[in-house]
Amino acid sequence: MVDVVDYDAKREEIRAYFHSVFDKTEDLFNLMTTDEAYYIKHEALRHPPIFYFGHTACFFVNKLILAKTLGDRINPQIEHMCAVGVDEMSWDDLNENHYDWPTVEEVRDYREQVRATVDDLISTMPLDGPINWDSPWWPIIMGIEHENIHIETSSAILRQCPTDMIAPNEESFAICIADHVPPTNELLDVAASTVVYDKDSNTSAVYGWDNEYGNKAVDVPAFKASKFLCSNQEFLAFVESGGYEQEKWWGAEGWKWVQCFDVKHPKYWVQDKSQANADGSGGWMQRQLAEVTPLPWSWPVVTNQLEAKAFCNWKTAQTGQPIRLPSEDEWRALRSLGEHGEEDICDWDKEAAAPGNINLEHFASECPVDMFQWGNTGFYDVIGNVWQWTESPVDGLQGFKVHPLYDDFSTPTFDGKHTLFKGGSWISMGANGATIDSRYSFRRHFFQHAGFRYIESDTEVSQAMNLYETDEAVLREIDAQYTPDAATQLLAAPSYSQQCADAVVEVTAALGKPTGRVLDLNCSVGRRTFELAKTFDEAIGMDLTARHIQVAVRLQDDEIVRYTVPSEGTINTFHEISLKDLELESVKGKCHFVQQVDYNNLDQLKFGKYDVVLAANLLEKLDAPKQFLENVHQFIAPGGLLCVSSTYKWDSDVASAEQWVGGFKDGGSGENVPSVDGMGEVLKANFRKVEWSKDLADVKRDTLRSMTVDVSEMTVWEKI
């Protein structure tokens, strides 16, 4: 929370911060010397740079629309195309054939429109209280900090751009020129301590993402930690000893990665054979952000987590001591040492530079590992220079809650496949990395500006995670769709998802329609999509919420989903489900799940046309249901079907009355307008109504014996 004292000053502070961060993105992308570089996938697991150039701007628009601060889109095409796609989640579509990217100039113009829009909001929005999760200012601060994240992730992508397409800029991105014989690393004692996580969304002075909030207290046994980050020189010994050629240093995941990509050395090392020694060694160079230089041996090595862990296994064998990466708790114990230990970034001396190579305050590169001591502790680079890999999987703290404006920031990473790294890098800006509570993670084979320090300890790092779904809204959906003895069974009826799928299959067969592709909108946790795939050749499940999609994808990946159901009082029953249990294993390959941030901004190039589009209990959730019905024909093949089930429960808090399809009196005749008639009026230009309908019961339970029942009517419309 930012507790505002001088509102005018705070408004101008936010304005200046917004423009400086927005400018920095453009400075970074201006390093590319040709438009061609914007459209090349320099990193195979991420989109080309043009996506990220637009993404950070459209993030502001998408979140401000979701918060109902903005009413209209600025550029629907860019705001759809550049909305989702950061990690290699299966709902991130990295197929470049699905994208008709805008020109660089179009994105520049779009960014200027967004800049003007946000600046105007900063000027006009009321500011008369604290800025916290519930403040209308939160999405603006969120957008700024999101931009900070992507300045860094984009710089890691540009670090792979061909050097003939990118040029250094010493004014904005000056790299360090210092290098020397690196110091010999040594292990220093860290006393036993208790670390406490207690960030509160109502009282915190520093912005945070959802996974930072909550509570935990951990007793950390004494350990030893390396005085310095592992340098390029120190890592060279692992390379020259054949570390990348010996499976014994790598776990199954790491060795598979080494073999798959034929890895021989760290990603940004480049060996110039013309400068190599007679035995083939030496000749090492390093790729920096925009150039290649002789490899600076005193700088920290840049690795992924798999390489860092393999080095520690090798180091254990070399020293006979238990060497490993730190846990998140051990890093926090180290971070808490010395005069900076209790300081957060808002507490640092504003007249002095940051106490580490961070925030682009010193260099646009790594620097020697002995340049920035952490206060008087004897340790160096506790923050900054490069991120520091840990062995801890990311998980939610006790009391974790999802922010409604960004529900897919953390929860998709709570899968045991994403590992925390700490401390930030030279280009970690704002609240990205430098705060005490920052909790960022990446998949273990991903590259960022990340390296490691190692520790000596006999204590194992727990890999245990709370694999029970904890989000109450998601639990309710899982229970309603998947629990074999769920409330619907008590009423002698299949789940709503099964009823809905069965109804679609019934009417499709009755009308003799093709069963090629079906689009299941508002698919939630996926049961209906799996059921439809028993009949259709391809079933696309689409939902606004990554928390829902994640459940479906985990099932599709043959995982067991564990969840709880309220029984009575504080008593819960525990359940688990898999596609094997449901006899749906055979259809998983025909399903694909997609997160879509706005059903009224679908892209026909990306999603194509379908034999059947199912909008199940969707209309009443849309802020513009009439607009949806006016446009949905674009996604249905000639003669195809639109199946709509709805409770017709219109709510002026969700959609303005002008967008209601029915449920009102006609302004001219004064007659009632039933929703089915209203749909027919909107759809008549492209559809004819099929004389078929069915009532479907949607039962969700609050406890074992308390439940709510909605009855939806399914109507069917044939495209003409």
Mean pLDDT by 10 residues, the chain (720 residues): 75 97 98 98 91 96 94 92 66 59 97 98 93 93 97 97 96 96 97 96 90 94 98 98 98 96 96 72 91 97 98 98 98 96 90 94 98 97 98 89 85 87 97 91 95 97 73 85 64 82 97 97 96 97 90 90 80 82 93 89 82 96 94 96 96 91 84 93 96 92 82 96
Query: CA 199, 201, 206, 211 torsion: positive or negative?
Result: positive
Q: Which helix (H) or strand (E) holds 286?
A: strand 284-287
Would you give the end-to-end CA distance of the chain in angstroms? 55
How high is the pLDDT of residue 708?
Answer: 87
User: Is there a contact between 565 and 479 (Cβ–Cβ < 8 Å)?
Assistant: yes
What whole-number distance in Å separates Cα of residue 403 and Cα of residue 406? 6
Q: Characterize the bridge pairing of strands 223-226 and 455-456.
A: antiparallel
For 503, residues 6+ apart whose C-beta sits below 8 A from its C-beta are 643, 645, 694, 696, 714
What whole-number distance in Å separates Cα of residue 62 and Cα of residue 143? 10
The two three-digit tokens of residue 481, written as one number: 């769709």
User: Is there a contact between 476 and 453 (Cβ–Cβ < 8 Å)?
Assistant: no
The runs of H, that is alpha helices, within 30-91 are 49-66, 76-81
- Fold category of 188-265+299-456 in CATH: paralog of FGE (formylglycine-generating enzyme) (3.90.1580)
Burial 498-528 (b: 16+ CB within 10 A, else e): bbbbbbbbebbeeeebebebbbbbbbbbbbb
What whole-number distance in Å separates Cα of residue 267 and Cα of residue 546? 31
SS3 of residue 332 by DSSP: helix
Q: Characterize the bridge pairing of strands 538-543 and 517-521.
A: parallel
For 501, residues 6+ apart whose C-beta sits below 8 A from its C-beta are 528, 531, 532, 534
Q: CB atoms < 10 A from the CB of 718, how many?
A: 18
Q: Could you tell me how many residues make up the chain?
A: 720
Q: Which helix (H) or strand (E) holds 696?
A: strand 687-703
Distances in Å between the Cα of 673 and the Cα atoms of 620, 670, 680 are 16, 9, 11
Q: CB atoms < 10 A from the CB of 602, how many?
A: 20
CATH fourth-level superfamily of 472-719:
Vaccinia Virus protein VP39 (3.40.50.150)
What CATH class does 7-165 carry? mainly alpha
Helices 104-124 + 7-29 axis angle, to 10: 170
Q: Give the residue extent of every domain in the chain.
A: 7-165, 188-265+299-456, 472-719
User: Is there a contact between 322 and 447 (Cβ–Cβ < 8 Å)?
Assistant: no
Q: CB atoms < 10 A from the CB of 81, how many?
A: 25
Number of H helices and E strands in the chain, helices first, is: 17, 24
What whole-number distance in Å separates Cα of residue 608 and Cα of residue 601? 14
Cα R_g (the chain), whole angstroms: 27
Q: CB atoms < 10 A from the CB of 251, how many?
A: 14
